[in-house]
Amino acid sequence: MGASLQLIDVLSWSMVIVFGLAAAVLAWLAIFGDKPRGKARCPKCWYELGRLDAPPALPVTCPECGTKVQALGQLTRRRFGPWTMLAACFIAGVAWLGWKLPEVDERGWLWLVPDRIVFELLPITGARGPLGDELQRRLGKSPWPSATIERTLTADDVAALLRRAARGNVFARPITNAWRQSFGDALRDVHGVLTENDGRVSFEAGFRPVAPDDGGEELAEAMREVDRIPADVVLATPARWPRAETTPLCVRLDIEGWWPHWYHVDGAVEFVARNERGESVQGSAAMENKELLLTIPLDGVVDVSGRVSLWRSVYDRVSPRTHDLYSHPFTFRYEVVASVDDVIPPLVDPRLDQAMQGLVLSTSAVHPMLDASALENMGFDDVAFGADVVIRSSGVEFAVGRVRWHGAAKLADIRIERVHTLAPEFGKVERGITPPGMTITLTSNPSEAIYVVGAKRYWSGEVTFPLTPGGRGSDIPYPR
């Protein structure tokens, strides 16, 4: 943009000089241009009341507008030109626009809108509209039109954004749909630029770290306001469930509707369960992956009541603490059945077993993943897959784990529970090399499949397929 920038600079300075001088001249004329020149004039309507060298007797009342003049000095005021001053202000605005022209060339016309106005008007376009895109750029998460990435919001600006999002405004009150699509999504956009540590909040943005701004305490206070956003937590409870000694009852929490993604939310539940025979049990459970697993060893129709609490932990080496987010009572009823098959029917299909031979095990150093793209468009989108995983090398067990996924999903996390680190192949696997002769076996596990949300049947069977030998970046998970 070298030549373009030079032209923009010339145009910018030309506009500033020409329109700036014109605005200054008009402003001078508006304030000083109309002198009395010996005339005695009404200070309100400027009607001529005589000459200053022979002024009228005071006090005098203006016959035009009725203003009563008490002192001679009132008759000698300069006449202010409001329309001339309005023109001067308009031309000064054009001069200011010329001054900003190089920045507009680099960042677009929305750059002229002040930060706080962007925050206030965000509900009008939504977080995925023009103002939301502008906010992304100012947070350093999207490139400017000049293809550069630069965060322009300070820590104070982000604190103001958090406070406005927590309180809402006349366009969007928490936690209405308009709020979710504007301020709620904006809170998610801040994800990745805030880090809370030892009671302070540092600010990073863009695809590269930025030195933290001063004002961490103000950011922390703003985040505490976000903690007070009204809760809208949905508990999903089953109508039927197998006896809990083998399969703990699963209660799911939908908390994605409003909490920012930077939050690590912990939770727990205390409950009392009773069946129709008067038997009762009480207990508690901690939330894991937005699920509460309740062990309720009762038969028949069971009524459960209790209270679920959620909080956000704040890391502080001096005084670790939590911020309470949500606490609410709940009740539900479910029927205890004999097995998983009474809740969701099994599917035994050789065609599905054959298709599963095309599954691929792909992993990073942290999360081994099962690529299920081979099952796409085969009519198994309503199937729950839950399986025990065994990886073998030349027929000898190498790693053991579990996996579950919905048939409509393309990837599934594998939870590796045990790896034989003394196996001869472990050194190669740790370096990302898949030795020849390695296989993976998936054996259906109904107790895993029942936890898959939204499925109408579950896969029952066993498949074994080989892992493709390869070098770095290959398909075997290994612990870190």
Q: What is the CA radius of gyration of the chain?
A: 35
Residue with tokens 């309503």: 382
Domain ranges, ordered by start, for the chain: 2-109, 113-206, 234-338, 346-466
CA distances from 350 to 353, 407, 460 (A): 5, 16, 10
Q: Are 461 and 352 in contact (CB under 8 A)?
A: yes
Mean pLDDT confidence for 437-446? 91
Is 224 buried (19+), middle (13-18) or exposed (0-12) by CB count in 10 A? Answer: middle
pLDDT value at position 366?
A: 55
372 has pLDDT over 80: yes
Q: Are 385 and 412 in contact (CB under 8 A)?
A: yes
Is pTM beyond 0.85 here?
no
| Of the ranges 42-46, 129-133, 475-479, the best mean pLDDT one | 129-133
Q: Are 58 and 73 in contact (CB under 8 A)?
A: no
CA angle 148, 153, 159 (to 5 degrees): 150
If residue 194 lies in a helix (H) or strand (E), which one and from where to where? strand 194-197
pLDDT digits (tens, 9 = 90+) for 2-13: 444 577 777 778
Band (472; pLDDT cuts 50, 70, 90) = very low
CATH of the domain spanning 234-338, picked from 3.40.47, 2.60.120, 2.70.98, 2.60.40: 2.60.40
Query: What is the percentage of the chain residues whose pLDDT exceeds 70?
Result: 80
145-167 burial, b for 16+ CB within 10 Å, e for fewer? eeeeeebebebebbbbbbbbbbe
Q: Among residues 255, 289, 285, 256, which one has the least CA distance to residue 269?
A: 285
If residue 462 lies in a helix (H) or strand (E), which one and from where to where? strand 462-466
How many Cβ atoms sit within 10 Å of the Cβ of residue 449? Answer: 25
Residue with tokens 């604190």: 159
Q: Quick one: DSSP state of residue 71?
A: S
pLDDT value at position 346?
A: 95
pLDDT value at position 479?
A: 39
pLDDT value at position 141?
A: 84
CA distances from 56 to 52, 60, 109 (A): 8, 7, 57
Least confident of 150-164, 220-234, 346-360, 388-402: 220-234
pLDDT digits (tens, 9 = 90+) for 78-123: 666 677 788 888 888 888 887 888 787 788 888 888 999 999 999 9
pLDDT value at position 281?
A: 94
Least confident of 30-34, 205-209, 237-241, 282-286: 205-209
Q: Quick one: DSSP state of residue 182?
A: I
Q: 175 preceded by cis ω (within 30°)?
A: yes
Q: Are 12 and 4 in contact (CB under 8 A)?
A: no
* Spatial separation of the C-alpha atoms in residues 449 and 472, rounded to whole Å: 32
- Residue 20's identity, in one-letter code, is G
How many Cβ atoms sit within 10 Å of the Cβ of residue 418? Answer: 12
Band (383; pLDDT cuts 50, 70, 90) = very high
Q: Are 269 and 327 in contact (CB under 8 A)?
A: no
pLDDT value at position 3?
A: 45
